[in-house]
A and B are shown apart, each in its own frame.
Chain A
Amino acid sequence: MLVVQGIIDGILAGGLYALMGSGLTLVFGVMEVINFAQGIIVILGAYLTYVFATHIGVDPFVTLLITIPIMFALGYGVYMLLLRPIKRDRVIMSLLVMYAVAVVIEGCLDLVFGGTLVQVSTPYATSSIHVGSLVFPDIYLMAFGLSAVLLGVLYVILYRTKFGRSLRATTQNTTAAKLVGIDVDRVSATTLGIGVGLGAAGGMLYGMTASFNAASSYDLISRLLVIVILGGFGSVWGAMAAAIIMLVIEDVISVVWSPVWGQTIFYLVLAAVLLFRPQGLFGRRMARAQ
């Protein structure tokens, strides 16, 4: 039964990580930018939720109406001001720029909130549903549900809108996208906005399920990169599947063996998969057709 509980916990937590990782992989798919700041962006989202929920008394889920637009604007602005001017060595330079963005945000958060661990508290944080001996924490069920809804919205945007088609086209061939009249800069800026916005939503859920401070971003970005690499860089659906697989493995190992080994296995699985499938579990050998 412990294994079943581990699988349930892994699936529920995997939904949350899928949400946080989808923004990272989406941005890479369109721009070939490794958004090293995604971890701290999640934490920024968590802090924004913390401020609105704790100091103003807004329900964390309602704060998304404020935090997602703010974070979208942040992502859009970062692209237009810092990434668009990069003309050469784009992959490396953009990685450095996003690292710098991460350091600046982390510094600001440290300055404002200090290093004390905080958590977004809600009335439903400790309640849960029991089915036999299995436990389904309400907060994780809500987190999983919101992740599913937001990823569903992302699916509709990607596959049922003109913007989504232009985004998928840009992902596959930037030059051809330009030649049919797609404004690649606008698509890229919007994509980074969406990625950061998803980070805000992920941050809200993360902040309700774990205590955090600015330094928590390092553990987060490590895990998100593992998930995105395993799923295949640029593949949103790969990231979702990899998030659930990895969290299930980690949680099962944690309950049947030890939490320490649960985290270690996370990275051992990455090493093993990359030995046999360098493109990740669901990625193509070439992430982008040129």
Chain B
Amino acid sequence: MLVFGDVFAGYGGGDILRGVDLVVEEHSLTCVVGPNGAGKSTLMKLVSGLLHPRVGKLEFNGTPIGKASPRQIVKQGIVQVMQARNLFPELTVRENVELGAFLVSDSSLVRKRYDEASEMFPIVKDRAKDRAGALSGGQQRMVEFARALMTDPVLVCLDEPSMGLEPRAARTIYQSIRTMHAAGRSILLVEQNVRAGLELATHGVVMENGRVRLEGTGMEVLNNPQMRTLYLGGTIEEGKVASSTGAHAAAPPGAP
């Protein structure tokens, strides 16, 4: 569904992503983990159109989206919940959620989706008239999730959704992600809580130094002995297959 082919990208001061090859399958919950500076958030910015690849292929359902604007990306059915809190703090909760359907012109459809979103996230109904900026961090995340669903997206990208939340709020967020996935959405999740993220995931991806280093099912990646090395300051050896768990290390660029 979403394909990265040898993607290089950065912010002008050199590439952060250095040859990313990755496929996000339809109906999967793909979780990307990796140490700080691995390029996870840069990867997400590419998907949302906030950043464009310098070179390489980025396709969604066969359509190139590497040069698409965020608006065109939303029209394709991809939405993103960013790392930092990204509500409109002075607008009400209802206005925030309704803005998720900014590109939907049918007002009855907007109402229907709003009702569905408030059913899935009761905070939307309970605090509809409150300023979004007055909500707690966890509540704001819920409203962002509700807003993301207003376009009835095919792929939902979540960039570190549990960041800064206390454990109970984080658990609620993870449950919401499960619910969205169970409802048939494909999810691309970047998560700093490696265990929680990979336990949720149908597909796990480890990034390091701007490249994909390890892939497999979420549990395979989580149980791979190289993960401990990576998070204790080591690095994953390129091309080495960890047959004991099934997860495999990604081949270096240019390898056959």
Contacts and interface: CB of A to CB of B under 8 A. Distances in A.
Interface string B70-93: 110011000110101011111100
22 contacts: A165-B91, A165-B99, A168-B88, A169-B88, A169-B91, A172-B90, A173-B87, A175-B86, A177-B88, A178-B49, A178-B50, A179-B50, A179-B70, A180-B100, A180-B102, A180-B103, A181-B71, A181-B103, A182-B71, A289-B89, A289-B133, A290-B84
A178 B48 CA distance: 9
B5 to A, nearest CB: 24
Contact of B74 (A166, A176, A180): A180
A179 B86 contact: yes
A110 interface: no
Contacts of A177: 88
Contacts of B74: 179-181
A180 B87 contact: no
Given A179-B79, A181-B74, A182-B102, A172 B50 contact: no
Interface of B: 48-50, 69-71, 74-75, 79-80, 82, 84, 86-91, 95, 99-100, 102-103, 133, 147, 151
A138 interface: no
B86 A178 contact: no
A175 B89 CA distance: 13
Contacts of A173: 86-89
Nearest to A185: B69
Residue with the greatest number of chain B CB neighbours at <10 A, chosen from A168, A176, A177: A176
Contacts of B80: 179
Contacts of A165: 91, 95, 99
Nearest to B79: A179
B87 A178 contact: no
A26 to B, nearest CB: 15
Nearest to B74: A181
A169 B99 contact: yes
A169 to B, nearest CB: 5
B82 A178 contact: no
8 closest pairs, A vs B, by CB? Answer: A181-B74, A176-B86, A178-B70, A181-B103, A172-B88, A181-B71, A289-B89, A169-B88
Nearest to B157: A179
Contacts of B151: 181
Contacts of A168: 88, 90-91
Residue with the greatest number of chain B CB neighbours at <10 A, chosen from A172, A181, A182: A181
Contacts of A180: 74, 99-100, 102-103, 147
A284 to B, nearest CB: 9
Interface string A164-195: 01101100110111111111000000000000
A169 B80 CA distance: 16
A181 B75 contact: yes
Contacts of A178: 49-50, 69-71
